[in-house]
Structures are given as structure tokens and as C-alpha cells.
Copies of this chain bind each other. A is one copy, B any other.
């Protein structure tokens, strides 16, 4: 285990910048949502944004180092959701996880509780899917306060082709290789949800 304090501060600076961006879009209202980046794979360690702060005002030190169970290794108090970030990273091999609360994701989760079917959209290429002829479903899972239960649901429901899951009544989990790719996947998924929400 070689993760040093400077590594964590550096990760914290990246997460603070990404958080401020998402907050400016209105996707992290209140103190909602959290972001993470994998800083070591074996053993699994993630830097996760600290809980309870305004996500537009994070500093590089507002970060917690957690293990594969989401327990704090260094830094302050992680959100309970850190455990789900760690599970997503372990399950998918993602290097970064974004969890945001967008109105469109919760609204579409209500309209399509069985999953949001997407097809024939160029924007699907932004999450690695074909733009034509292939139906892709963005899974919607039932919310839980138990991260084990929520993780089981995510694992059971996720489509390996789609780096995102909607949690009903809650928001979005999205992942990517890097914080920047996770950002782009998040923007693409949210765009798709905003599009579907325009359907009458």
C-alpha cells in the first residue's frame, strides 16, 4: 500500500474541480452526491469526497481515503455511499465514479421504473454504444439505505454495455476509466435523460 498523503491531496484537487463543475449544473444541490477516484487497485483504495460539504465549495483536503468496504483509511468521515463507489470500482474496473442527484434521472426513473430504453441516438456513442438499430437499456434500480442491498441490485441490473445506473427516487451512478471520462459519461447519460423527459 503506497498511497501517500500527496496522492490523496492531488486526488482531492481533481474531485473538488469535478464537483464544482457538476454543482454549477445544479446536479449536486444541497450537499448531495459524491465523487470518487481509484488511487490504488490492490488493495483497492478510493479517494471519495467528504460528506456534508457544499459540493461547489470543496477544497483538495475535503477528501477521504476508503477501502473496498467504503471504510475510512485516512481523512474524515466518508458518506455511507462510499461503499457503493468501492463496489462499482471493483465490479466494473472503473477508475472513477460519479454520483449526482439530477432532476431528470429521478423523473425518468418514475416514468420508466423497469429501465429506460434508448435507441437510435448518436449520443449513445458517448457511452460506447452504437448509434443505430441497437436498443440499450439504462437500468433503474430500487433505492435502499443499505449499501449492500443497493450494490446487489446494481450488480444484478447493470448492463455491461452501459456505464451508468439510475437509482429510483435518488439519482445517478456513472463511471469511467478516469474522472474526465466519468464526467463525460455523466454528461452524456444526463443529456439522454433530459431528451427522454421531453416526450409528451
Spell out A's residues near B (CB within 8 Å).
Answer: 25-26, 29-32, 54, 101, 103-104, 106-107, 110, 120-123, 126, 131-132, 143, 145, 167, 169-171, 180, 183-185, 187-188, 190-191, 194-195, 197-200
User: Which residue on chain B has the smallest CB distance to residue A119?
Assistant: B169
- Taking A143-B131, A169-B121 as contacts, is the C-beta distance between A103 and B30 under 8 angstroms? no
A122 and B171 within 8 A (CB):
yes
Docked Cα-Cα span, A194 to B195, in Å, equals: 12
A193 shortest CB reach to chain B, Å? 10
A187 and B29 within 8 A (CB):
yes
A39 shortest CB reach to chain B, Å? 22
A35 shortest CB reach to chain B, Å? 16
- Taking A132-B143, A200-B200 as contacts, is the C-beta distance between A103 and B194 under 8 angstroms? yes
Question: Using Cβ atoms and an 8 Å threshold, which residues of chain B touch A191?
Answer: 26, 29-30, 101, 103
A185 shortest CB reach to chain B, Å? 7
User: Which residue on chain B has the smallest CB distance to residue A104?
Assistant: B198
Question: Using Cβ atoms and an 8 Å threshold, which residues of chain B touch A194?
Answer: 103
Question: Using Cβ atoms and an 8 Å threshold, which residues of chain B touch A171?
Answer: 122
Question: Ordered nearest first, which 8 A-B pairs have the shortest CB separation?
Answer: A122-B170, A29-B187, A30-B126, A107-B198, A30-B188, A30-B184, A29-B191, A120-B169
27 A-B pairs with C-beta separation under 8 A: A25-B26, A29-B184, A29-B188, A29-B190, A30-B126, A30-B185, A30-B191, A31-B126, A31-B184, A32-B122, A54-B180, A101-B191, A103-B194, A104-B198, A106-B121, A106-B195, A107-B195, A107-B198, A107-B199, A122-B143, A123-B170, A131-B145, A131-B169, A131-B170, A132-B143, A132-B145, A200-B200
Docked Cα-Cα span, A44 to B192, in Å, equals: 36
Question: Using Cβ atoms and an 8 Å threshold, which residues of chain B touch A120?
Answer: 143, 169
